[in-house]
Structure 1
Amino acid sequence: MQNVKVVFAYKRGFRRFWVVASVIWLSLALAVFWGGPEFSMAFLEWGVAPVALVYAIGAATVWIIEGFARPD
């Protein structure tokens, strides 16, 4: 039988890792593009877009894996 609490614990752990990595990534992107000629566009392209893309890929992967883990 599947232990649901363990699955949720893994989700929380991955989400916390994503939050920490995203904060670091956004801080670095902010430091690099701050005061540049096209700050807002560059920050959206190189800061925000990768963070959102990684989250979407992670959510899709978890959704697929959970689909295989459910009992029939």
Structure 2
Amino acid sequence: MQYQEDIFETMHVHNTTTIEGNKLSENQVGDLLEKGIVPEDKSLREVNEVQNLCRSGSIRRLTREKSLSSSS
């Protein structure tokens, strides 16, 4: 299940940042998020954009999980 969530997150982050003009490929996004590998030929702005979008999704997930567990 975690593997599928990781793939979805990579695809979501890639597609969302691509709309905004980010040039990282889906493979580069996956390597950055899963392995911490920063592409050498991309700008710091593009790398930060991917990392920040991923963090914001993680925060939303944690908040939702905490809310669901406290309402039980």
TM-score by length of 1: 0.51
Give the aligned partner of residue 19 of structure 1: 6
Structure 1, unpaired ranges of 5+:
1-12
RMSD of the alignment, in Å? 3.0
Counterparts of 1:1-72 in structure 2, within 5 Å, are 13=1, 16-24=3-11, 25-26=13-14, 30-31=24-25, 35=41, 39-45=43-49, 47-69=50-72
Structure 2, unpaired ranges of 5+:
27-38
State the distance in 2 between where 1:21 and 1:66 align. Answer: 24
Q: Structure 1 segments of 4 or more deviating over 4 A?
A: 26-29
TM-score by length of 2: 0.51
Q: C-alpha displacement at 1:16, in angstroms?
A: 4.8
Aligned residues: 52
Larger radius of gyration: 1
